Amino acid sequence: MDGWQVGRARITPVIEVETRTSPRFLFSGMDKTGVQAVAERSPWLSGSFVDDDGYLLQRIQCLVIEIDGTRIVVDTCVGNDKPRTNPGWHNLQLPFLSDLSAAGYPAESIDAVVCTHLHVDHVGWNTSRVDGRWVPTFPNARYVFTQPEFEYWQATSYPDGDDIFSDSVAPVVEAGRADLVPVDHRLDAGVRLDPTPGHTPGHVSVVIESEGQQAVITGDMIHTPVQVASVELSSAFDYDQHAAADTRREFLQRYADDTLVIGTHWGGAGAGRIRADEDGRWAIEPVGSTARSAG
């Protein structure tokens, strides 16, 4: 379980699923040939974020931030035992909690859970099935949901008809563990939310700052670095595709050069730094995770 060091903060990925993904899953009208064409124009993609066959290298993961003794989980994957329309996510039985513990982060040690948004693959381990009912998986954590995101999904049916709010969000509120916050909320001195709307109405990214260094966890604002090479390329799952593209443009400008950008769904290297060439085209310089140093 490797990760990234940002000043005093350690950011550790805990992967639920890692796979090659057809671009058709994310992008209407784009096939593997289309990805290969983008990679030919932007060769930094190949081997790091897409493969030679035009598949996207993708993960479903949570990212654990540990800073000054505080442990924060960002996004909680799909989860086990949950009825889902997508057959690949239906009633999963995966060792995620064991993997989390093996990384040094048993569920009871987590202080806060942040959901960048409330889609199915970002809220699943918010809850676990115990004696026939859904209870918070992280018993000592405060769960952070942005107010506009919570209110939207409280009033809106999910596209596939899955009852995600009822099994993965409402039980946290009913248990008194939820904090509804503004989209620019600061969790503590080193971790804050950055509003990045478009994918969903209240979507946020998570910024980590320590000792003059900075990292940002994207959420689904950038599903894959292919959307850095082609900024206008919005996901079929985006609530507002035009707003999502505008948000990406602003994000790339804001975090270019020194910030470590960690993609919630990026496979391969999993992270990188934003660069612009002389023609103003954006790229990601991959930064792979490193093992925790001894001591």
Q: Which CATH superfamily is domain 4-286 in?
A: Ribonuclease Z/Hydroxyacylglutathione hydrolase-like (3.60.15.10)
Angle at 179 between CA 174 and CA 184, to 5 degrees: 150
**pLDDT level of residue 279 (50, 70, 90 thresholds):** confident
Angle at 182 between CA 126 and CA 238, to 5 degrees: 65
Q: Which residues contact 38 (CB under 8 A, 6 or more apart)?
A: 45, 226, 229, 230
Mean pLDDT, range 79-99, rounded to an integer: 97
Mean pLDDT of 12-32: 96
| Average pLDDT estimate for 236-248 | 97
* Mean pLDDT value across residues 192-207: 98
Lowest mean pLDDT among 84-98, 140-154, 209-223, 271-285: 271-285
Give the dihedral of Cα atoms 76, 202, 281, 234; nearest 10 deg. Answer: 80
Residue located via tokens 């959420």: 219
Average pLDDT, the chain: 95
Residue 278: pLDDT band with limits 50, 70, 90: confident
pLDDT tens for 147-173 read 999 999 999 999 889 999 999 999 999
**How is the chain split into domains, by residue range?**
4-286
